[in-house]
Amino acid sequence: MTVADLTRSEEWAALKRHRQALAKTRIADLFRQDSDRFSKFSLALDEFAFDFSKNLVTEETMRLLRDVARAADVAGWRDRMFAGERINSTEDRAVYHVALRHQGATPMMVDGKDVMPDVRRVWDQMRRFATAVREGNWRGATGERIETVINIGIGGSDLGPAMAVQALRPFCHPEIRFHFVSNVDGAHLQAALAQADPASTLFIVSSKTFTTQETLANAKAARAWLTARLSPDAVPKHFVAVSAAVDKAGVFGIAPENVFGFWDWVGGRYSMWCAIGLPIAVALGWEGFERLLAGAHAMDRHFRGAPAERNIPLTMGLIALWNIDFLGAAAYAMLPYAQDLARLPAYLQQLEMESNGKGVRRDGKPVKCATGPVLFGEPGTNGQHAFYQLIHQGTQRVFCDFILAARDRSGYPELHRLLSANFLAQSQALMFGKSAAEAQAEMREAKMKAGQARALAPHRSFSGDRPSNSILIGELDPYHLGKLVALYEHKTFVLGVLWGINSFDQWGVELGKQLANDILSGNGVARDGSTAGLKALYDAWQE
């Protein structure tokens, strides 16, 4: 497959020249020059606003960035994705998570087949199961209703459902507790089981192939815990599976009718919309899960139909490209001002870093520009007392996304006003900074001696001119969360197209797994002295 190197295009060169022309321009200067800047550099989709005005961009910047998008054929690749073409070239698969939240009767075709009848069949299976658990009609082996649901998965089979259930906590069933076990460290499973009664616990084992090493190890340990306290006959009443491998789930002890399937055109990190989202459906009820799908579908329609200059995912991807490849940002902070979105940074770490953490283009040739940045984050205001120091005054260039829900459901409006003030203040502080002269004047006003104020001024000044986006949503509910997650999916897709990489494989995940299996089998330990030495210490310290 021939892939054009965008970095050699005239469009890329024009952006480089433009960057040089802006070398002495500061973001704050742009606001001083244009009182209407916010309206020009923000976009909205109902109660969903994306403000990118606190970036070093002008109308000319955006025009040149859209030229780059046209040169990369972002629109063409988007249309191929929505048409069900096999754009995941290294695995020869379609990329069709958009079908999982498709609304209406329009067919969604892969290889000449409409996939929607199968999708709706699984939706119906999920709906019936979620309703039975929520209403107490699904009973354990001893007749108890389900009070604890433990999802066992890893990667996309864990991060999406775990993030969504926590994010939508106020909408969840009040009498069912949810736990998510992913790490093969036994402490993770033990912590969940310590809070569970086997008679009223349901396990959801999520693995497409039902061979994922960590998931199967945890599932077997959970089965042993259950059968030791009830009986081997209890397994069918306490275990269901999300998998394409009905036979392997059956060997484990799960009845075929309790296996929820999905398809090879669903990538793991894009799978919370299918049966992998079964814990979400149980937590929210089917109506709530449908609202989540509807929000994602609304963003799909927008991405597919909005013109380039009003297209939020496209614009977000272009702003990221500008910050990474033209302004030198190697790190990206995800800063939700919502405690219930505490797992969103981890979810987006997989989405963006697994998708775009690539060093070769689709044709196998090396990329000639920076690709996926290091993504990290924490809810505000906690992060302000942790790593914001580096964002404000460190030597690394970090670009940030701030997220806030306008309406609060906590019942503590004064706390939410304080939270919102911090959300607004932090992006403003990153942009304006504080000069040494301003810092010195503040200290003198506080009656500090002139010599001490001069000495402290370099430590208490901020360079500013640090870019950020702000996303404001009406409230954190299923519909808006669906929009938010779909936005980041499409933004990640846009960046992959711009860089000419395949965002939908993850071969970098495999090597460590292969070597772990070699070490478990006794091979591979002697390949290097460090590994052999550490293994010898591990064995010796077992006594």
DSSP 8-state secondary structure symbol assigned to residue 396: S
Selection from 320, 372, 379 nearest residue 344 by Cα: 379
Token pair of 443 as six digits:
């200290």
Find the Cα–Cα–Cα–Cα dihedral 15, 19, 25, 26, rounded to 10°: 90
Selection from 210, 257, 206, 203 nearest residue 234 by Cα: 203
Is 385 tagged catalytic?
A: yes
Catalytic residue among 113, 368, 449, 513: 513
Token pair of 249 as six digits:
């789930």
Provide φ and ψ at 65, rounded to 5°: -65, -40
Selection from 459, 460, 465 nearest residue 432 by Cα: 465
Is 392 tagged catalytic?
A: no
Q: Give the strand pairing for 398-405 and 331-336.
A: parallel
* Residue 348 neighbours by CB distance under 10 Å: 25
Token pair of 15 as six digits:
């952006």
SS3 assignment for 288-328? HHHHHHHHHHHHHHHHHHCCHHHCHHHHHHHHHHHHHHHCC
Tell me: cis bond preceding 215? Omega within 30 of 0 counts.
no
Strand partners, 204: 151, 240
d(CA 225, CA 231): 10
Token pair of 49 as six digits:
């606003």
Residue with tokens 């087949």: 113
Give the list of residues 6+ apart from residue 246 with CB closer than 8 angstroms, or none. 256, 259, 261
346 by Cβ neighbours in 10 Å (0-12 / 13-18 / 19+) ranks as: middle
Residue with tokens 């199967």: 216
Element (H, E) at 475: none
Element (H, E) at 98: none
* DSSP string covering 416-468: HHHHHHHHHHHHHHHHH-B-HHHHHHHHHHTT--HHHHHHHTTTT-B-----E
Provide φ and ψ at 204, rounded to 5°: -110, 115
d(CA 262, CA 136): 26
> 249 near 210, Cβ under 8 Å?
yes
Is 102 tagged catalytic?
A: no
Catalytic residue among 214, 290, 352, 354: 354
CA–CA distances in Å: residue 191 to residues 61, 155, 157, 258:
51, 19, 19, 26
Tell me the catalytic residues.
Answer: 354, 385, 513
